[in-house]
Structure 1
Amino acid sequence: MEPQVRLELYRTMVLIRTFEEAIRREYHADKKPVFDIAAGLIPGEMHLAAGQEPVAAGVCAHLTADDAVTATHRPHHFAIAHGVNLNRLAAEIFGRVDGLGKGRGGHMHLFDPETHFSCSGIIAEGYPPALGQALAFKRRGTDRIAVAVTGEGAANQGAFHESLNLAALWKLPVVFIVEDNDWGISVPRSASTSVPSNAVRAAAYGIPGERVEDNSVEAVYRVAGEAIARARAGEGPSLIEVHTVRLWGHFEGDAQGYRPDLAEVAERDPLPIYEAELRRAGVLDDDTVKAIAAEASERVEAAIAFAKNSPEPDPATALDHVFA
């Protein structure tokens, strides 16, 4: 792989992690001394994707703003990797009027027409809308594609199987991504899923399926590149499952008493692993690492400041921007 590509993958991962760390800091800042999920500048649930950066970085490196991405309730990494405006993303998380949804949606309901990005708190919800986007792209005769992301637990939902079937039947330009972080909230995949890999389920619909192990951003980049090229060429859908890791809780405030792997989970952090790999290859040195970290911090802190300075929605506008 070209050094510049590897460097950009690392840069994207650092930006995502820096953003997630800042949101975590702001989320917890005013929820002390006793954690209150309803308190503070960012009230409500918060699902962060630390550890899952390789999936978003590796997939979105092949996309343009004309391609569509539908993500899950843990969406920030894909939003950032797909180029969603960082300021408007942060403002939406804070519930402010300059946010992507004018402060109405919050962090689980992001919608950005400029980059064709959306997500939902409903499990497997993003798969069917991706079919509609892919169908529109195909009927218009373009080479645009849709990427639909979900977690391994959602692969047991009806929408997952219905979407794979219809995409295969209509040969739609869509790539299905499953992020397997081992836990469906607090349930291990072994207790919920009858197969060791959701990638094998692709065979039931006559489409390619592949599982990426070790949370490797370069392996994701390679496999996703092949699937996306296949979709652009009109050859239909593919299914990719990535064995990734959830470094933090299912939601912020999750005590994670159900996880026997907590003592080892930090060792699986993909950022230091990839940084060490790039250092050995001569792609990174101390100065480059510091420069990338500083650039990410500057962008993220500017986005946080933008969000805090954006006004809260006027209650008088509560019925604006709705269908009825």
Structure 2
Amino acid sequence: MAARTSAKAVDQDKGAAPLPSADELLGYYREMLLIRRFEEKAGQLYGMGLIGGFCHLYIGQEAVAVGIQHALKQGDSVITGYRDHGHMLVCGMDPRRVMAELTGRVTGYSKGKGGSMHMFAPAQGFYGGHGIVGAQIPLGTGLAFAHRYRGDGGICVAYMGDGAVNQGQVYESFNMAALWKLPVLYVIENNRYAMGTAQARAAAGRRLCDRGEAYGIPGHQVDGMDVIAVHAKAQELVEQVRNGQGPVILEAMTYRYRGHSMSDPAKYRTKEEVQEMRERHDPIENLRRVMAEHGLAQEDAFKRIDKEIRDIVNEAARFAQDSPEPDPAELWTDVLVEA
């Protein structure tokens, strides 16, 4: 089924976002490419039977996490759903330990017990990875409450998909966040299809970001395939949230190239639609083109980054496969926290 709108046909603010410096753009390029290559390798390892359970790849959506993360500060919190590998990497988590967790090894962030959907790194401000649809939103709202209670100046960015927006717990969270003016930026990564149903068939209303209107929460849309636009809008909204103006919703219009999970053949959309998105809206290729057109990077810089990223990802895969599996006794650890 064809989608209702294209990634470019969104209600964005007037005027183009200012062009960041060459160093900043190369940083965006490097991080998006790291996510892309990492996810491709994860897909390969899944096919080899080295990753068990569910595995949801972030390929195509890289500009969202990268653009938003660069608007945050040390001490801020990030929480998301199960399509989470990209967020982990852009939060600064070690690709080797992320891959080790995916493959169920003891060197992973959750000692090999969490897998793709459940790993945490509080030192990097990352609080999951949650497998229940929408469950991260009340938790993210709680993280925002903790920031306010402690007075540490931090905010929480709570990511969700377009399918999660229809969950009741999301609106309970909106209500409390608005009531207490909590420092939280809710990000809807609208990749159009939730698990496999087109948004037009499952969600009433024109824009998902308007779902907070009843609570007085402002909503904004941005082209989630354009990392420059995402970063510019995120900077604006993060400042509002940090300055005590309460919660804000940002809907990033994006697209996933693969199925919902590795077991999804994605027959609910046409090959032509996917091909058009890859050819005309790919966030990595478009950023590369912008840099080249403005003389901000030469081909040798791209090749150098490409090689560096491939080396990092290959090393992550080797590290994971060389790491031992957890001892069966680990089943009884990390179950309860003694307080």
RMSD between aligned alpha carbons? 1.4
Please say if 1:298 is aligned against 2:311: yes
TM, length-normalised to structure 1: 0.93
Pick aligned residue for 1:277 from 285, 290, 308: 290
Corresponding position of 1:230: 240
C-alpha distance in structure 2 between counterparts of 1:300 and 1:60, whole Å: 21
Q: Percent identity?
A: 39
Q: What are the superposed Cα offsets for residues 24-60 of structure 1, whole Å, 9 maximum, x if unpaired?
A: 12211x2xxxxxxxxx211222110100000000000
Corresponding position of 1:138: 148
Matches within 5 A, 1:85-100: 85-100=94-109
Corresponding position of 2:9: none
Change (3 A) 1:87 1:64: farther
How many equivalent pairs are there? 314
Pick aligned residue for 1:81 from 90, 111, 120: 90
Corresponding position of 1:319: 332
Corresponding position of 1:167: 177
Q: Once structures 1 and 2 are overlaid, which stretch shifts more, 260-269 or 93-102?
A: 260-269
**Structure 2: gaps of 5 or more residues:** 1-19
What is the SS of the residue equivalent to 1:119? Answer: coil
Please say if 1:216 is aligned against 2:229: no
Indicate if the aligned counterparts of 2:225 and 2:282 stay in contact, CA closer than 8 A. no
C-alpha distance in structure 1 between counterparts of 2:88 and 2:80, whole Å: 8
Q: What are the superposed Cα offsets for residues 148-193 of structure 1, whole Å, 9 maximum, x if unpaired?
A: 0000111111121111111111011110000000101110000000
Indicate if the aligned counterparts of 1:91 and 1:103 stay in contact, CA closer than 8 A. yes
Q: CA deviation at 1:214?
A: 5.7
Pick aligned residue for 1:287 from 300, 303, 306: 300
Indicate if the aligned counterparts of 1:176 and 1:239 stay in contact, CA closer than 8 A. yes
Please say if 1:264 is aligned against 2:264: no
Corresponding position of 1:6: 25
Q: Once structures 1 and 2 are overlaid, which stretch shifts more, 264-273 or 302-311?
A: 264-273
TM, length-normalised to structure 2: 0.89
C-alpha distance in structure 2 between counterparts of 1:160 and 1:210, whole Å: 17
What is the SS of the residue equivalent to 1:42? Answer: coil
Amino acid at match of 1:225: Q
Indicate if the aligned counterparts of 1:9 and 1:217 stay in contact, CA closer than 8 A. yes
Amino acid at match of 1:290: K
Structure 1 runs of 4+ aligned residues shifted over 4 Å read none
Amino acid at match of 1:79: M
